[in-house]
């Protein structure tokens, strides 16, 4: 009887299949593979029909011939945990980048795809996930309104939208969806490189590039009025505004600037560190690229502003018995660092209001710097070094505004105009 069953099973196999056989309510097959650790093991495939299993068997056999194959495929949830713990670590990744990856995976990937096995994840499922992200109210998904108290004296701080049946439709920006997809691609790409899966399905999903809303940077006249107002009001951050506008320094780079990187006699500064708020801590860390650490020449207005800042800080040091010596150029009255988001942004907005100029963000001021450089006929490659862009394309995107002759002439006199006392009765 046993012999007859063996003959019957042998006859039911197609030519060359070898390891395909009936299993429970369908069929199964296995292929000997070499795992990423170098071991020889069987890997199984299952299906309802012989043709289905045969297709899987052929595909698996091809993968085994191409390279190593993992026999245990984790879920995306487990793979993300491994990726965050073992791959996305310092010093290879910046602390702020690590926090961003943790936040994006927790909020936008795990709730939707976390239970999927890596080899079962399809292009269609990734595309469906992207469309779901675009349409989902994040206030509902994250329970933001539900976490608010039912009663509070401030109407905005008590439950007022999704938790009371009035969905606020707080959907993600397209740029956030793009970033979530980019992070998923990175996770799957790592799994491919470590031979856990053979294909990154997320690379097949392409999204249209969202149009960036262009904010017009300040004109020369607006920049002059702003800086003169900050100087006349003895704003402790006047020198910071000068460095941002004239040299295009980023906010974190200005607040992380140390006196040891400032050479007033030689007229140079080295932008070596930046200040960031990460996990409720203020961290000083190296700038992103080696080119960012190149010395920058200081125009006269920058040298004068930094000299003024040094005198202000010396007065603060003498007047405050609890002075904390951090070495930073820009500090509070007691020598402590200035918060990049709350502290600096609020004081920048206050300075704008005092000067009576158009409100823009700190980041937009870099566009003003690029305009100054363009009008001064500075070569794009030199401007790229000053702005410390990673490639020339980034520079050219913001290097096209100053074309008016009167504006160009005003910009050529910018340094001397800003570095001289303001005449009474003139703007």
Domains of the chain, residue spans? 17-66, 76-136+171-204, 220-418
Tokens of 343: 């502290």
User: Which among 219, 271, 242 is positioned nearest to 348, based on CA atoms?
Assistant: 242
- Please count the other Cβ atoms lying within 10 Å of the Cβ belonging to residue 21: 16
Determine how β-strand 273-278 pairs with β-strand 281-286. Answer: antiparallel
Q: What interhelical angle do 405-412 and 365-375 show, nearest 10?
A: 100
Alpha-carbon gap, residue 327 to 323, rounded angstroms: 11
Give pLDDT tens digits along the chain (427 positions): 445 544 444 444 444 445 788 888 888 888 888 877 777 888 878 888 888 888 888 888 887 887 777 777 889 999 999 999 999 887 788 888 899 999 999 999 999 999 999 988 999 999 999 999 999 999 999 988 889 998 889 888 888 898 888 899 999 999 899 999 999 999 999 998 888 888 899 999 988 876 767 778 888 778 888 988 998 898 999 999 989 888 888 888 899 899 998 998 888 888 878 887 777 777 777 765 555 556 787 777 788 889 999 999 999 999 888 888 888 999 988 888 888 877 899 999 999 999 999 999 888 887 777 766 665 565 677 667 666 677 777 777 666 554 455 545 544 554 554 555 444 444 4
Residues 288-321 as b or e (16 or more Cβ within 10 Å = b): eeeebeeebebbebbbbbbebbeebbeebeeeee
For residue 104, give the nearest of 126, 84, 119 by alpha carbon.
84
Calpha distance 44→111 (Å, rounded): 29
Q: How far apart (Å, rounded) are the C-alpha atoms in residues 185 and 200?
A: 7
State the pTM of this model: 0.69
Structure tokens at 212: 């960036």
The tokens of 29 are what? 């097959």
CATH number 1.10.150.130 given to 76-136+171-204: yes
Domain boundaries 220-418, CATH class: mainly alpha
- Cα distances (Å, whole numbers) of residue 413 to 95, 281, 352, 404, 419: 41, 42, 23, 15, 10
Q: 423: number of CA atoms within 13 Å, CB side?
A: 4
Contact 202, 184 (CB under 8 A): yes
Q: Is 276 exposed, middle or buried (0-12, 13-18, 19+ CB in 10 A)?
A: buried
């Amino acid at each position: 009887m046993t012999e007859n069953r063996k003959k019957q099973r042998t006859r039911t196999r197609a030519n060359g299949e070898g390891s395909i056989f009936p299993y429970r309510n369908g069929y199964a097959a296995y292929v000997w593979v070499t795992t990423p650790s170098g071991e020889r093991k069987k890997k199984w495939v299952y299906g309802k029909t012989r043709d289905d299993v045969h297709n899987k068997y052929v595909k698996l056999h091809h993968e085994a011939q191409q390279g190593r194959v993992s026999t245990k495929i984790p879920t995306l949830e487990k793979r993300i945990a491994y990726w965050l713990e073992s791959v996305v670590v310092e010093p290879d990744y910046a602390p702020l980048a690590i926090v961003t990856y943790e936040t994006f995976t927790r909020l936008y990937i795990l709730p939707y795809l976390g239970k999927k096995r890596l080899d079962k994840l399809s292009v269609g499922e990734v595309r469906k996930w992207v469309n779901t992200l675009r349409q989902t109210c994040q206030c509902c998904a994250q329970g933001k309104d539900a976490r608010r108290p039912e009663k509070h004296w401030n109407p905005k701080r008590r439950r007022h939208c999704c938790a009371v049946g009035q969905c606020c439709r707080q959907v993600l920006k397209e740029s956030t969806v793009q970033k979530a997809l980019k992070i998923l691609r990175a996770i799957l790409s790592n799994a491919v490189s470590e031979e856990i899966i053979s294909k990154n399905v997320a690379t097949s999903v392409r999204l249209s590039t969202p149009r960036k809303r262009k904010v017009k940077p300040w004109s020369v006249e607006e920049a002059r009025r702003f800086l003169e107002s900050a100087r006349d009001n003895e704003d402790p951050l006047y020198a910071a505004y000068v460095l941002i506008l004239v040299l295009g320094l980023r906010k974190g780079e200005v607040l992380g600037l140390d006196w040891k990187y400032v050479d007033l006699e030689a007229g140079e500064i080295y932008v070596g560190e930046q200040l960031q708020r990460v996990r409720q801590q203020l961290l000083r860390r190296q700038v992103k690229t080696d080119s960012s650490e190149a010395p920058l020449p200081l125009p006269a207005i920058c040298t004068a502003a930094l000299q003024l800042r040094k005198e202000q800080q010396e007065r603060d040091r003498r007047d405050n018995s609890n002075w904390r010596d951090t070495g930073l150029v820009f500090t509070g009255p007691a020598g402590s660092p200035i918060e990049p988001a709350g502290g600096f942004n609020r004081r920048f907005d206050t300075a704008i209001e005092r000067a009576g100029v158009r409100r823009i963000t700190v980041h937009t001021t870099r566009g003003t710097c690029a305009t100054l450089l363009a009008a001064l006929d500075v070569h794009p490659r030199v401007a790229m070094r000053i702005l410390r862009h990673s490639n020339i394309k980034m520079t050219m995107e913001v290097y096209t505004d100053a074309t008016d002759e009167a504006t160009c002439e005003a910009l050529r006199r910018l340094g001397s105009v800003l570095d001289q006392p303001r005449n009474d009765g003139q703007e």
